Structure formats: structure tokens, C-alpha cells
């Protein structure tokens, strides 16, 4: 069977490509990776009106065919049929921002010259109309020599016409003609693009007034940074306060499951595995899904509204102080959700040394996997009182932990840029897109994908680590009446005993040493590990699922110990998946090994300083 024709969606960044991709394919999309590089490959299926199926690939946005960064390289290689694991496209849909014709048309000219069938989607035509721009579409089509279809991707306008034009384009076939040719002179093409834009723009009024008005506040030298800090603060407060109710629901569901299992199953090993290992172990991690989704919700919102690039603008001066650019701020902010997409987002940084530095410090941004750890410890040891109207002490501590991560990252970047990643420096040159109302459907789709990724992780990595940990903590069984704790007598306990002398000086007990090891696989496992260890030691699993982990910890740990554990996780050596991504990104084991080493040293020192200071203060 012939595979369905592949259509590539190409265009400048901010042309509304992803919105069009979502509108055309709906939920029928798959997010993966191109082999060998961590550039995200988004592919979806759609059908033409006559029923013919098409495969639509959303290529990374780029300004030209002369790539400056790894993601732009992928776009170029796919278009030229050189990307491993990808077919040469049968046709291109070039997405153009109707309000920014003079610039976007230059790239269209480059793409039309490739000789593949092209359909131009003149997107955001509604915004052009609102800006008072009137475009002669027939003339534009004649000038470019390809069909032009006006679209409003976010409102699904013009999609039928686009599908019809695609049907005609795919029917005709075509082949790239200058796949090895020299790229044309940018300035010449740019002037030609401006000529066409002038010729087809019948009427032109003032620019986007909204963006101007908002930017006067958002980019103000004083108000701008305050607004950014305020927004970050609200975001982290929301992560804590909005999630309380859904977390309670999940915790109740988990308790009900555990109780039901205890009531209905005979008291044997299988029940212990199911209750201690799976329900309470995995459940204690899944309980944090609401917080992770709230964090992603804010990040998706910042990206979709166009504010994220403004944040990069505001942060550039600070980032320049440590040898980076504001551009690094975007991957770093994404790393608050997860270091993996964060490290992947560094592909848009063109300077290799800037990029390497950003990759190395990305794990210091507090990822959502650390939230379960923070949440349990903060919940157990920090009183839930208000320090200011609307500001809770717990949220404030969480905010400080995030600040510690950021401060640490900046300090490490400053050191790295003066030592191991010295030299270069890519500067800061970015387009500030117009502000847009986020499309709720697209935000929901993004959240849904994150939710699936998290649950898949909980169902695989976290489940297996939890089960293995349960086995290692349950065997061999401590002799009855010996007074030896099971968590110390078991295999895991003996392994932890080896690590214990290293972490004892920083206030960690045996169970914490035990929890820190599996947390290397996935940080949130620290919570399920503690849960499993304390459940097994309790020896009375009737109470499991009723007695909360926080209460147990409060009984077992001192406040300096708890604070040291929090400080450890600010810098904790990251999860295995992050190491794997760093290895793939940097093509070798040197940088992942370096990252592991420096993070371990930092984590130990931070935990130590916290523990010693807190003890000295008599906390």
C-alpha cells in the first residue's frame, strides 16, 4: 500500500503554524522526535474532501533556508529530502502572517523556488482586517505563482478552501529543482518581498494598537520587571493553592483503593506489593498531577499569548550578566515544568556555547517532578498560615526554593561561561510577536498531551522503580523480635548503608539515603520510596492509606533534616531521562557525567549548609 502523501507545514516563527496544524488535524497528532536530534517532530493525519488521507508534518518555524540553529536545520533537511526518517514532502503549506507580509513573503519566495507544489495559507487575515490592512489576494497569488488561501487558524476559517487547494496541489506531483543550489541573496529576496507586499496591500492603517499599548506596560523599564516577577509569583502560588481540592480527591481515591484492596485480599505478599508498592507508591506520585498541570497551564498560556518572548526581553540584561542571552530564559522557564522539553527547547539557541551552558543549567530549574517532594516536606513541616493577605507561608517557601534554583543556575552559568564554556556569545536578536488571546482548545490539547506523558511515566518508569524498590526493601525479611528495622535489614537498606556515611554529615538519616538512590531514576520516586519504606516499617498495613506520609515524616525527622532534604532537591542530580537527553544533545558522555558530578557536589553542599545553619539556629 502506498503511504499517504506527506505535506509539510512551513513558515516563519509566529505565523500561526501550530494553530493551523491543530485546526487541520485536531487530536489526530503524534509528538515524537527526529532521529539523532531532540527536535520535536509533530505529525498528524487529515483527510481531503474526497476522502484521500494526508500526513501533515509541522516543521519548526524558521526565517530562511540558511539554518542558524539545530531546529532550523531540521526544517531545511526535511524540505531538501535529507532528513533521516522523513520522506520528501509531496507539497508544502507555507503559513504567512497576513499582518507581516513584507517579511514573511521573502521566505515564501525561497520556498516557491524549491519547485515543490506550494499552497500559501495567508493566516491571521482577521487581524490584518482589524489593523486596517486590505490585501489583494488574487494579485498576491499571481505575483507568487501559487495558490493563496486566506485563513484564520484559531477560528478554523478558510480550512475547507485550504484542503481543496491542497487536493489540487497533491494531484499534480512535483520535485525539488534546486536541492543543491546556492541560497539566493537574502537582501535581494527581501526587496522583492517588500515590492510584492506593497503592490498587494491596497489599504494600510495604523499598526496593531493593542500590542503597542500592552508593550508600554509589559516592556516598561521599571513596571515590566515588576510585572514579570509578580506573574511568576502568582504562578507558583497558584500551583499550591489551586491544586489543593483535586489533590484531596486523588488522595481519597488512592485511600479508597488501598482500603478496598486490604479488605478484599488475603494478607499476603501480593497484597503488600499491591498496596505498599503500587497503590501507595505510584499513587503518591500521581497525586501531584494537578500541580504539574497547573504549572504547564501557565507556561502554555505565556507562550500562546506572546508574553514569553517579552519575558526573554526583560531578562536579557540579567542573563547577559552571567554570559547568556534572554533567549536562554525560554528553555529555562520550560524547565520548570520538565528539564526534558527545556533542554529540547535550547535547539533554538544558535550559539553552541550559549546552548551548552543552558543545557547544563536547565536541571537546576525546579522541574515539576520535584514538586511532589517539596509538597510533601513543606506540607509536613511548614505551617499553613498566612503571612500577608493572599500569601501563604507554604507558597512563600516554595517560591524561595524556586528562587534558590534560579540563583544557583545563574551562579553556575557565570562560572561555566568563564571556564568550561568560555568564548563565543550569540547576542540577542528576537522577533516580538503580536499579543494574542490564547486559543483554549490548543491550550487544552497541550495540557492533555502533558497529562498523558506524565501518566505514561507514572505507569512505566515510576511503577517499575517502585516495584523494584518494594522488592529490595521487603527482602530479606528481618528476623522477628530482633529489633532490627526491615528498611535497614533489606537489600535496599544495605545499599543505603553504603551511601549513608556520605549523606549523614548533612543531616540525612538511613531512610533518606534510601530514598535518594531511586530518585535518580525519577525525582518524584523519592516520595513513593519514603512512602514504601515507612509503610513497610510500620508493619501494620491496615493503617496504610489512612495515615498520611507527612505525619509519619514529622514524627521521624527534625526540622533541620527536612530543610536539608529540600535543599538537596533544589540541586539534586537529575533523573535518568534528563541525563539521556543531555547525552543525545551533546553527543557523548562527557557533559552528562559533568552534570551529574557538579549537581551532586552542589546538592551535598546546599543540604549541608542548610542543615548546619538550621541546627546552629536551634530550629
Partner 1 sequence: MRLDQLPLRQASRIASIDWTGLAPREAQRLRELGFDDGVAIEALHRSAMKGPLACRVGRMIIAVRRKVAATDRNDPA
The answer to the question of residue 542 lying near partner 1 (CB under 8 A) is no
Which residues are registered as beta bridge partners of 386?
Answer: 392
Q: 3-class SS at 107?
A: helix
The answer to the question of residue 109 lying near partner 1 (CB under 8 A) is no
**187 vs 264 by CB, closer to partner 1:** 187
**28 vs 317 by CB, closer to partner 1:** 317
Length of the chain: 619
Binding mask 255-294 for partner 1 (x = CB under 8 A): ----------------------------------------
Nearest to 302 by CA among 227, 249, 363, 359: 227
Least gap, CB of 208 to partner 1 (angstroms): 9
Select from 29-37, 75-83, 305-313, 543-551 the region that touches partner 1 (CB under 8 A). 305-313
Q: CA 104, 109, 110: angle at the middle one, nearest 5?
A: 100
Least gap, CB of 176 to partner 1 (angstroms): 21
Among 31, 43, 48, 68, binds partner 1 (CB under 8 A): 68
Are 461 and 522 in contact by the 8 Å Cβ rule? The answer is: yes
Which residues are registered as beta bridge partners of 7?
Answer: 56, 91
Q: 3-class SS at 55?
A: strand
The answer to the question of residue 126 lying near partner 1 (CB under 8 A) is no
Among 82, 195, 220, 418, binds partner 1 (CB under 8 A): 220
The answer to the question of residue 198 lying near partner 1 (CB under 8 A) is no
Residue 275 has what DSSP assignment?
I
The answer to the question of residue 248 lying near partner 1 (CB under 8 A) is no
Residues 347-366 touching partner 1, rule: CB under 8 A, are 350
Among 49, 66, 160, 542, binds partner 1 (CB under 8 A): 66
Backbone angles phi, psi at 93, to 5 degrees: -105, 115
* Interatomic CA distance for residues 11 and 105, integer angstroms: 10
Backbone angles phi, psi at 612, to 5 degrees: -65, -40
Terminal CA-CA length for the chain? 71
The answer to the question of residue 99 lying near partner 1 (CB under 8 A) is yes
The answer to the question of residue 212 lying near partner 1 (CB under 8 A) is yes
Select from 102-110, 257-265, 436-444, 545-553 the region that touches partner 1 (CB under 8 A). 102-110
Residues 398-457 touching partner 1, rule: CB under 8 A, are 426-433
* Interatomic CA distance for residues 569 and 516, integer angstroms: 9
Which residues are registered as beta bridge partners of 10?
Answer: 94
The answer to the question of residue 303 lying near partner 1 (CB under 8 A) is no
Give the total of residues touching partner 1 (CB under 8 A).
Answer: 43
The answer to the question of residue 316 lying near partner 1 (CB under 8 A) is yes
Select from 275-283, 313-321, 488-496, 566-574 the region that touches partner 1 (CB under 8 A). 313-321
* Interatomic CA distance for residues 287 and 251, integer angstroms: 6
Select from 213-221, 364-372, 377-385, 536-544 the region that touches partner 1 (CB under 8 A). 213-221
The answer to the question of residue 518 lying near partner 1 (CB under 8 A) is no
Give 348-407 as a 3 state SS string.
Answer: HCCCHHHHHHHHHHHHHCCCHHHHHHHHHHHHHHCCCCEEECCEEHHHHHHHHHHHHHHH
The answer to the question of residue 213 lying near partner 1 (CB under 8 A) is no
Contacts of 221 (CB under 8 A, 6+ apart): none
The answer to the question of residue 165 lying near partner 1 (CB under 8 A) is no
Least gap, CB of 424 to partner 1 (angstroms): 10
Least gap, CB of 201 to partner 1 (angstroms): 10
Q: 3-class SS at 281?
A: helix
Which residues are registered as beta bridge partners of 96?
Answer: 122
Backbone angles phi, psi at 43, to 5 degrees: -130, 140
C-alpha cell at position 342: 527545556
Select from 135-143, 214-222, 357-365, 389-397 the region that touches partner 1 (CB under 8 A). 214-222
Residues within the interface to partner 1 (CB under 8 A): 63-64, 66, 68, 99-103, 106, 186-187, 190-191, 194, 207, 211-212, 215-216, 219-222, 224-225, 309, 312-314, 316-317, 320, 326, 350, 426-433
Amino acid at each position: 500500500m502506498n503511504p499517504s502523501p506527506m505535506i509539510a507545514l512551513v513558515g516563519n516563527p509566529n505565523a500561526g503554524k501550530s494553530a493551523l496544524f491543530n485546526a487541520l488535524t485536531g487530536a489526530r497528532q503524534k509528538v515524537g522526535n527526529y532521529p539523532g536530534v531532540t527536535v520535536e517532530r509533530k505529525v498528524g493525519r487529515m483527510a481531503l474532501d474526497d476522502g484521500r488521507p494526508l500526513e501533515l508534518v509541522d516543521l519548526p518555524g524558521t526565517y530562511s533556508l540558511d539554518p542558524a540553529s539545530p531546529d532550523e536545520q531540521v526544517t531545511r533537511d526535511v524540505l531538501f529530502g535529507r532528513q533521516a526518517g522523513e520522506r520528501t514532502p509531496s507539497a508544502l503549506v507555507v503559513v504567512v502572517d497576513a499582518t507581516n507580509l513584507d517579511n514573511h513573503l521573502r521566505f515564501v519566495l525561497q520556498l516557491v523556488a524549491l519547485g515543490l507544489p506550494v499552497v500559501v495559507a495567508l493566516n491571521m487575515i482577521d487581524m490584518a482586517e482589524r489593523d486596517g490592512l486590505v490585501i489583494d489576494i488574487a494579485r498576491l497569488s499571481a505575483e507568487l505563482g501559487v495558490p493563496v488561501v486566506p485563513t484564520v487558524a484559531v477560528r478554523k476559517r478558510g480550512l475547507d478552501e485550504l484542503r481543496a487547494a491542497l487536493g489540487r496541489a497533491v494531484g499534480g506531483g512535483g520535485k525539488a529543482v534546486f536541492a543543491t543550489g546556492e541560497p539566493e541573496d537574502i537582501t535581494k529576496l527581501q526587496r522583492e518581498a517588500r515590492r510584492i507586499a506593497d503592490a498587494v496591500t491596497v489599504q494600510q492603517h495604523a499598526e496593531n494598537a493593542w500590542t503597542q499599548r500592552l508593550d508600554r506596560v509589559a516592556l516598561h523599564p521599571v513596571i515590566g520587571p515588576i510585572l514579570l516577577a509578580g506573574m511568576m509569583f502568582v504562578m507558583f502560588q497558584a500551583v499550591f493553592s489551586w491544586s489543593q481540592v483535586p489533590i484531596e480527591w486523588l488522595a481519597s481515591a488512592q485511600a479508597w483503593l488501598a482500603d478496598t484492596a486490604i479488605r478484599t485480599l488475603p494478607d499476603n505478599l501480593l497484597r503488600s506489593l499491591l498496596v505498599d508498592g503500587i497503590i501507595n507508591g505510584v499513587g503518591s506520585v500521581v497525586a501531584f498531577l494537578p500541580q504539574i498541570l497547573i504549572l504547564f497551564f501557565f507556561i502554555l498560556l505565556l507562550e500562546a499569548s506572546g508574553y514569553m518572548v517579552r519575558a526573554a526581553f526583560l531578562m536579557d540584561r540579567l542573563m547577559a550578566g552571567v554570559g547568556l542571552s534572554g533567549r536562554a530564559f525560554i528553555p529555562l522557564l520550560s524547565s520548570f515544568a520538565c528539564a526534558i522539553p527545556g533542554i529540547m527547547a535550547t535547539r533554538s539557541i544558535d550559539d553552541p556555547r550559549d546552548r551548552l551552558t543552558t543545557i547544563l543549567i536547565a536541571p537546576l530549574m525546579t522541574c515539576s517532578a520535584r514538586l511532589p517532594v517539596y509538597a510533601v516536606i513543606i506540607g509536613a513541616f511548614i505551617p499553613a498560615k498566612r503571612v500577608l493577605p493572599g500569601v501563604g507561608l507554604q507558597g512563600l517557601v516554595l517560591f524561595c526554593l524556586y528562587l534558590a534554583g534560579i540563583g544557583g543556575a545563574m551562579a553556575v552559568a557565570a562560572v561555566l561561561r568563564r571556564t568550561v564554556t568560555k568564548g563565543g556569545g550569540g547576542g540577542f536578536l528576537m522577533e516580538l510577536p503580536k499579543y494574542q488571546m490564547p486559543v483554549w482548545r490548543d491550550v487544552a490539547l497541550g495540557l492533555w498531551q502533558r497529562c498523558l506523558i506524565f501518566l505514561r511515566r507514572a505507569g512505566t518508569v515510576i511503577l517499575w522503580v517502585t516495584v523494584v524498590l518494594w522488592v529490595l526493601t521487603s527482602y530479606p525479611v528481618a528476623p522477628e523480635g530482633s529489633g532490627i528495622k526491615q528498611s535497614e535489614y533489606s537489600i535496599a537498606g544495605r545499599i543505603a548503608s553504603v551511601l549513608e556515611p556520605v549523606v549523614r554529615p548533612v543531616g540525612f538519616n538511613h531512610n533518606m539515603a534510601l530514598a535518594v538512590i531511586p530518585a535518580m531514576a525519577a525525582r518524584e520516586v523519592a516520595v513513593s520510596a519514603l512512602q514504601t519504606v515507612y509503610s513497610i516499617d510500620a508493619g501494620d498495613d491496615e493503617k496504610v492509606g489512612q495515615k498520611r506520609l507527612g505525619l509519619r515524616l514529622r514524627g521521624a525527622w527534625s526540622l533541620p533534616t527536612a530543610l536539608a532534604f529540600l535543599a538537596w532537591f533544589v540541586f539534586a542530580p537529575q533523573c535518568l531521562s534528563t541525563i539521556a537527553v543531555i547525552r543525545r544533545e551533546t553527543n557523548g558522555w562527557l557533559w552528562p557525567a559533568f552534570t551529574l558530578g557538579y549537581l551532586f557536589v552542589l546538592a551535598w553542599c546546599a543540604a549541608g549548609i542548610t542543615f548546619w545553619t538550621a541546627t546552629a539556629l536551634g530550629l
